[in-house]
Amino acid sequence: MALEWPNFDGVPEDDSLTSSRPRGQKLARFLWWDGEIRESDELSVHYYANALHYGTAVFEGIRVYPTRRGAVLVRLREHIERLLSSARLYGMKVPFSADELTRAAIEVTRRNGTQNGYLRPLAYFAEGPIDLRPKKECQVRAFIAVRELGTFLGEDALRNGVRIMISSWRKFHHTMLPTMAKASGHYANSVLAAHEALDHGFDDAILLNQDGTVASATGQNVFFAKAGMLFTNDETSSIVPGITRDCILDLAREHQVPITIRAFTREDLMRADEVFFTGTAAEVTPVRELDGTVFKTGKKTLGAFFQRAYLRAVTGKDESRAAWLTRI
C-alpha cells in the first residue's frame, strides 16, 4: 500500500533546525549537587567511590532545546522516573523524590541559561569499604550536570546519515543485567563496541544479542522501514526502551504509519529500505550504510519524515506535542 506523506520537502526544514547548534560540548558553570546549586568545579568524587570501581551509578541524558518561548526540557518527568527506576533495580535509595529532582533539573537549566544542551542526572554509590554490597554502607549521592550539545554523531549525521558496522561484541542479556536500567556499568559493553567501530572507520556499531537478533546501537534504539512499514524491537531484545523511541512510535501512530514491534535480525536490516537510530543525544539519525549495505536517506524517506516531526515537536513547533516539553 502506497502511503501519502504529509507535505515534506526538506531534511529537516533545509537545516534550519540544525544550523544553529553549538559545535562543542562546553560545560556549564553550575550544577545541582545533593540538593543545592553549586559551582561545577567544586564537585569532587572520592577515589574510593564504589561507583568508580564497580560501575554502580545510574544516570539519564535529557535534552534542552530553544523554542520561541524559551528553553525547554524534553520529557523531563519520564527521564526522572526512569532514573529512579534504574536506581531501584540496583538497590539504590536516592534521597530525593521525583518532584525534587524535576525541580532541580529546571532550576539548574535556568541558572545556566542553557539553550542547546544536555542534562546529565547521575546517582551513585559513594565512598565506603571495599565491598560488593554498597547498599549496606555507601551513601547515595546525586548530581545534575549540564553541558552544551549540538548534533551528537557529527555535523552532517542528521542530514546524510551514519556508516555503521555490526559489532563483534554481543549485547548482554536481560537475565545477566537489568537491561532496562541506564546503569554506568552496562556501558562497558557499548564502549567496547564503539571503540571497535572507531578502529574500523565506522561512526557507530549495532550489537546483536547472543541469539543473533538485533539489540541496539551503542546508545540508540534501532528502527527500520520496509515497504512503508516501520519496525523496531522491544525490551525482550535486551534494549533500553528509549524515550525517543516512544516519541517516534507516538508520531507514527498519529500519522498512521503501520508499526510492527518484534525481534529482528541483521538479515532484516540488510533487506530494509531504510534504517535509523533514535536517542536523546542522537535524536533521529539515519543510517546510510551497514557493513557495505546502503540504505535510502534524505528527502522523501520515512526517516527524514520522523526526524522532522521529532525536531519540530521538541523545538515547540508542533503544539500538539506541548505536553512533552517543560518550560524553563
Ligand X SMILES: Cc1ncc(COP(=O)(O)O)c(C=O)c1O
Host H or E run for residue 288: strand 283-290
Task: Judge whether 182 counts as a catalytic residue.
Answer: yes
| Phi, psi values for residue 89, rounded to 5° | -60, -25
What's the first-to-final CA gap in the chain, in angstroms? 43
Q: In a 3-state reduction of DSSP, which class is residue 230?
A: strand
Stretch that binds ligand X, among 24-32, 66-74, 133-141, 236-244 (CB under 6 A): 236-244
The three three-digit cell numbers of residue 209, written as one number: 544479542
Closest to 126 measured CA to CA, from 33, 61, 30: 33
Spot the catalytic one: 182, 226, 299, 300: 182
Host H or E run for residue 32: strand 30-33
Toward ligand X, which CB reaches closer, 138 or 219? 219
- Site membership for ligand X, residue 245 (CB under 6 A): yes
Write down the least CB distance from residue 275 to ligand X, Å: 15
One of 216, 233, 297, 315 touching ligand X (CB under 6 A): 216
- Site membership for ligand X, residue 243 (CB under 6 A): yes
For the window 182-211, what string marks contact with ligand X as x by the rule CB under 6 A?
x-----------------------------
One of 18, 114, 184, 220 touching ligand X (CB under 6 A): 220
Q: How far is CA 153 from CA 13, 74, 163, 202, 217, in A?
A: 19, 19, 11, 11, 12
For the window 51-80, what string marks contact with ligand X as x by the rule CB under 6 A?
----------x-------------------
- Site membership for ligand X, residue 279 (CB under 6 A): yes
- Which residue minimizes CB distance to ligand X? 242
Q: In a 3-state reduction of DSSP, which class is residue 165?
A: strand
- Site membership for ligand X, residue 134 (CB under 6 A): no
- Site membership for ligand X, residue 12 (CB under 6 A): no
**d(C-alpha 77, C-alpha 101), whole Å:** 9
Spatial contact of 161 and 286, defined as CB atoms under 8 Å apart: yes
Catalytic residues: 182
Chain positions contacting ligand X, by CB under 6 A: 61, 182, 216, 219-221, 239-240, 242-245, 278-280
